[in-house]
Structure 1
Amino acid sequence: MRLSIQPVWIFLYGVVGVVGGPQVVVVGGGPVGLVVACDLAGLGVDVVVVEAEGGVSEWPKATTVHARTAQSLVRRGYLGDSEGGNSPRTGVDRGSVSVGFHFAGIPGLAISGPAGEPGPVLKCDQAELVSGFEKRARALGVTILRGHRAVGVREAEERVRVEMDGPGGRVDLLAEFVVGADGARSLVREAAAFGSRTYPATVSALAGDVRLQETGALVAGWHRTPRGWIVVKELGERRVRLRTLNCAGAYEGRHQPPTLAELHDEVSWIAGRDIGMDEPRWLSRFSDFCRLVESYRKGRILLAGDAAHVHFPIGGQGLSTGLLDAMNLGWKLALTVRGAAGEGLLDSYDRERRPAAQRVIDHTRAQLALMRPDAGLDPLRALFRELMAGASAESGVLASMVSAQDTVVPPWGPDASPWEGRFLENLALDTAEGRTDVIGLLGKGLPLLLLFGEKAEDFEEQARAWAGLLRVVRAEPVQGLPSEALLVRPDGYVGWAAGGGGLATALRAYFGEGEGACGGVAALGAACVLPGAVS
């Protein structure tokens, strides 16, 4: 049965008066797709999320949110209150903190975060993240179609048609834009024929939750042998979560589901002794296959998260990289749909995020090279252990790379201020309305124009045409921040600073001609506090 969009909208979902479908369809209801949907809906865009799974998957997936991702999430109100002020914000630590991490399985890497930011490494199961994001999306009016599998995507007459199979049969949705956030085997990517650069698999790896037949047969931690790696996490009552790495070569049938017997044989072979196990709760297979699409945008179709990039999961950077995609894309696509985007704003998504994904692919491949069980690499591993010791400059470089705190977005023009493209840390600010901070001022999802000093009135006059879009705040000068004015993007990056060309020129580049084009932008609803996010 094939239904057109209008009967589907009125009959199945009770949305009356919507002609031609939503403005944006997001294919994929995981954390990346839901954050894109939340940021779009928060700025007044009609959004539908299409998700094949009928409910939130309880299978263990990603559990790590790295520093720059947590810093960006809290600025969008995902980790606590979004109004700022002096009250403590859930998940935000008011002092600088260092957390021990690893590089290529070598312990000793210290990842630090600035004062006033979330902890530098947040641990939260992906299922909890998805539940929190979905709750927020529904509160913002996002329609989430669970149990609907996208089977086709194609552009048609300045729209994109998404074909999907649902409980009632085949359904077509027409939208102005489609975002593919549907994972490594993305239907959107394949249907729209995105080109990709790929790196073939060279290793095989397994994962699963099992019960060990002998108490203490494996202890928690990272274990390297001459044949590979076993990573063990204790779950209690002899249950463990296992991950293996076999560097002998890629498994020929890597898309076939693994078995308990296969995991047992692999763990026993790597360990060099029999490791009895039973009662598997889940099993999975992965490798070091990598992919990066040639562009994140193809006309009215965009990709985010694993649909755009896949890499070896060392360091837990996949979830964080995808969420940074989402927070870069959401506001840009929203302003484009609302007619308040400058020429080239949406294309800047690819320009800013694809190099970041390439960097993740490169340094995860470098880590895998260090993990290969070749005794000839022992001196190199020892060198890296020394480099990571203490607070050395080399340790800081590696930590900033893994946590994405070294990410700087490219400037828009040749006369950019040195501040442009940098991430603005959470400064305390004294304003006419009282004491607040950067996190509190960005919580509504609008661009922020911070004005300091005597020229504030002049800058405010230059920005008058964009008054319906910008949040303009005058504040007392801040020590260590010499700029008289900063344009802060919703994702926390500085888009312009005084001394780097005219403010009106920058606003026009980002937001078009202004003059109230976005006057009806909706404010975000209440912040969504995520379980497990308290540091």
Structure 2
Amino acid sequence: MSYDVVVAGGGPVGLMLACELRLGGASVVVLERLTEIDPTLKAGALNTPSVEALYRRGLLPELKEVQARAMELVQAFMRKQASTGGPRRTPPRFAGHFAGMMLSADLLDAEDPDLSGRGPITEIGLVPQQQLEQILAVRAAELGVEVRRGVEVTGFADDGEQVTVTTTGGPVHGRWLVGCDGGRSTVRKLAGFEFPGTDPEITAYQAVAEMEGTEHLGVGWQATPTGIYSHGPVPGRILVARFDGGAPGRADKTTPVTTEELQDAVRYVTGSGVVVKEITSVTRFTDNARQATTYRLGRVLLAGDAAHVHSPFGGQGLNLGLGDAVNLGWKLAAVVRGQAPEGLLDTYTRERHPIGAWVLDWTRAQIALMRPDAHARAARAVVADLLGTVTGTTYFVKKISGVWQRYDMPGDSGHPLVGRSAPDYEFEDGSRLADHLHDGRGLLVRQSGSRLDGAAADGHGDRVGTLTTAIGEPHAPGALLVRPDGVVAWAEDPDAADAEGLANALETWFGAPADVPATLG
């Protein structure tokens, strides 16, 4: 069979991309070398753009259920700590961390406009990667995505019209190939993407294990004379980072981590006599930080860790990859269906590369403050003081949460919403903006009193829905055009009538209007 898009890698990023492609009308196959979801402990939280993206596709109930189960594990850990003589203090409300320095939600500026207007997603964040992957696997099946597990990509040929992918399960043909196959991406290497960056300073381990002697360990992040560690927030979870230059003998991901290796690292960093009895899950990683110079070469594109690698501190990796998938999916589907020119794909690198570069620097800064030398610890103390203020905590939380993200848009009218994630406005019928984005189309929202022609988007009706309503927000625009990824492509003030600006935005993001207006749903 031949597909519109072949996705290499069936983790959360590959599955999210596949779902977006199917919503856009593209045929897609996902090739995943693992036969089951990887049980190794990985990312444990989602940021605001990620939760917004999933909410806009109708997945909020599933996220709430997963978070409830995750919170039960956190509470079990705290009960165990109390029962074994560990710290009994009630920790502050968690809002993230920077370089292992905790951020308290009690210090957030509740009046900051970037942290308000987010709708029902506000309380969602603690969603482990494996559970997210399960949610996306179910959604992909519902949408008709073909997922082939136990199939590994071994090569490909791009002839300019089609990509022939060779795999352990035979050849697969597609018009496009997207590598979502992780930091050691086969697709990236075979395609010849440049991947510059910085070498590692640490070797770190994150594990869930049965251990003895942990009652003397601190809860949460702790800096020590030999590194940094984190204990909890679920039973048996430990993370340790030792500054050894990413020792090659330990940093090889293909070599299994033994109980002896993990125990040696825990003892070295914590200074304790912890005994590791049995490992349930463990991963070894470094702070190797690299980014592809472009996310597209010919008919091959990259997303997620295939496009950028960095340390996981601050929980940015999974979220960065999901943002790639949401940005790329609708654009590639539009090109596949002939609704947009190939040039639309150039906006993928242009919009996502700066976000990736920021994440790499954000993680590098944390490594600099985690170093055990005197100069780094002095700088760490200064930052810790800043984190103890409302202004400092609000700044760091806004950065970690991703609410600062904005794309530079062609023909930007100067409206403050353009290029940003659309607010989750509540409409007069009680619905919210996200409720109208489940189908993966764009959306033109026109306030009842807007001077804009109600038929302005008729020529794009198969790609853009139209909603005429009242918005229950005093500072809402008179009309706004929202892309399928939830980004505002155009907006006008209530007393304006920028029909030309809307027409340009529609053609830029959704292609030329159809000869015959489509019927709007």
**Aligning the two structures, in what range does the TM-score lie when normalised by the shorter sequence?**
0.7 to 0.9
Deviation at 1:215? 5.9
Q: Shift in Å at residue 209 of structure 1?
A: 2.4
CA RMSD of aligned residues (A): 2.6
Cα distance in 2, alignment partners of residues 128 and 261 from structure 1: 29
Correspondence for 1:449: 444
CA 1:148 to 1:105, structure 2 compared with 1: closer, same or farther past 3 Å?
same
Tell me the CA shift for residue 453 of structure 1. Answer: 4.3
Check conservation: 1:158, 1:176, Cα contact below 8 A: yes
| Corresponding residue number in structure 1 for 2:243 | 247
Paired position in structure 1 for 2:5:
24
C-alpha deviations, 1:238-267, integer Å up to 9, x for none?
xx2221111242212321433221221222
CA distance in 1, matches of 2:234, 2:33: 29
Q: 1:517 to 1:358 in 2, by over 3 A?
A: farther
Aligned partner of 1:11 in structure 2 is: none
Counterparts of 1:84-483 in structure 2, within 5 Å, are: 99-110=94-105, 113-115=115-117, 116-119=119-122, 122-166=125-169, 171-214=170-213, 216-233=215-232, 235-236=234-235, 240-253=236-249, 254-255=251-252, 256-342=255-341, 344-392=343-391, 394-413=392-411, 415-430=413-428, 434-456=429-451, 458-483=452-477
C-alpha spacing 1:64/1:197, structure 2 compared with 1 (3 Å): same
Deviations 1:373-424 (A, max 9, x none): 12333443232223223431x3322211111110001111254433210211
User: Structure 2 vs 1, CA of residues 298 and 213 (structure 1 numbering), >3 Å: closer, same or farther?
Assistant: same
Distance 2:65 2:378 in 1: 45
Report the residue type matching 1:439 in the other structure.
A
CA distance in 2, matches of 1:81, 1:436: 19
Correspondence for 1:504:
503
One-letter amino acid of the structure 1 residue matched with residue 141 of structure 2: R
User: How far apart, in 1, do the equivalents of 2:262 and 2:425 lie?
Assistant: 49
Distance 1:435 1:212, change over 3 A: closer
Structure 2 CA distance for partners of 1:215 and 1:89, relative to 1, 3 Å: closer
Aligned CA distance change for structure 1 residues 54 and 519 (closer, same or farther; 3 Å):
farther
1:60 — aligned with what?
A: 41
The unaligned stretches of length 5 or more in structure 1 are 6-20, 83-87, 93-97, 524-535
Question: Is contact 1:61-1:126 (8 Å) kept?
Answer: yes
Distance 1:121 1:414 in 2: 32
Deviation at 1:360? 0.6
Matched residue, 2:481: 487
State the match for 1:528 in structure 2.
Answer: none
Query: Number of residue pairs matched?
Result: 481
Report if the CA contact (8 A) 1:468-1:517 is conserved: no
Deviation readout 1:4-26 (Å, 9 max, x if unpaired): x4xxxxxxxxxxxxxxx111111
* 48-57 vs 152-161, greater mean Cα deviation: 152-161
Residues 496 and 282 of structure 1: CA distance in aligned 2, closer, same or farther (over 3 Å): same
Question: Letter of the aligned partner of 2:127 in structure 1?
Answer: C
Secondary structure (helix, strand or coil) at the match of 1:330 reads helix
Sort the Cα spacing of 1:435 and 1:520 in 2 relative to 1 into closer, same or farther, 3 A.
closer
User: Would the alpha carbon gap of residues 81 and 518 (structure 1) be closer, same or farther in structure 2, given more than 3 Å must change?
Assistant: farther
Distance 1:403 1:208 in 2: 25
Match of 1:80 in 2: 61
What does residue 75 of structure 2 align with? Answer: none
Question: 8 Å contact 1:160–1:174 — kept in the other structure?
Answer: yes
Q: Larger RCO: Structure 1 or Structure 2 (Cα < 8 Å, ≥ 6 residues apart)?
A: 1
Gaps of 5+ in 2: 69-92
**Shift of the alpha carbon at 1:355?**
0.4
State the percentage of identical aligned residues: 35
Deviation at 1:459, TM superposition (A): 3.1
